[in-house]
Copies of this chain bind each other. A is one copy, B any other.
Amino acid sequence: MRLPRLLRRAPLVLVVAAAILAGPSVTATARFDEQGALMRPKAYREWVYVGTPLTPNELNDGEAAFPGFHNVYIDPQSFARYRQTGRFPDGTMIVREFVGISSREGPSGKGYFMGEYTGLQVKLKDAGRFSYEPGNWGYFSFGRRSPVSQTAEVRRTGECAACHLAAADEDTVFTQYYPVLRAARPEPGKRG
């Protein structure tokens, strides 16, 4: 008896289904071009949002170091691992997207309301590429404007890490300002 073509391919279908269920590998999100520059991650606005610090220019002598809202995301695979282990696995990408202030009053009251995108930065934990960096994190800026660049070179050692090392709560990540991460991490005794 000759098996129908589809049935003969069932093992392949199973492998594909298993791959879909398992999700992409942790390191699949970071891609580099032939010159070694990080390519702008795609679809990061569908990653897991973790929090938004806000530093308006008018509260910083007219010129904040990072004006406006900073929306911060983590790739979903690393978020899942963080939730199990309380640690950021190799391959973790954290995106910081800048958004301007469009209005200081809305229907819900006086305050700050988001306007247009104004820039994008990424930090990537990669022990192979950044073995010389604290926590193996490399820092990248895709620009402080819109549209942002398609690629970014790694910033020099210490340029970004200095503030993170000095003030961030966990592995150079400012989890003290990211309620989603604080709520997700396991108790120390329950870490996988």
Contact = CB atoms under 8 A, between A and B. Distances in A.
B17 A53 contact: no
Interface stretch (A24-32, A122-130, A132-140, A176-184): A176-184
A11 B7 CA distance: 8
Tell me how many chains of this kind the complex includes: 2
Interface in A63-103: 64-66, 69-71, 73, 76, 79, 99, 102-103
Nearest to A181: B45
Interface residues of A, number: 61
Interface of A: 1, 3, 6-7, 9-11, 13-14, 16-17, 20-21, 45-46, 48-49, 51-56, 59-60, 64-66, 69-71, 73, 76, 79, 99, 102-103, 106-117, 163, 166-168, 174, 176-180, 183-184
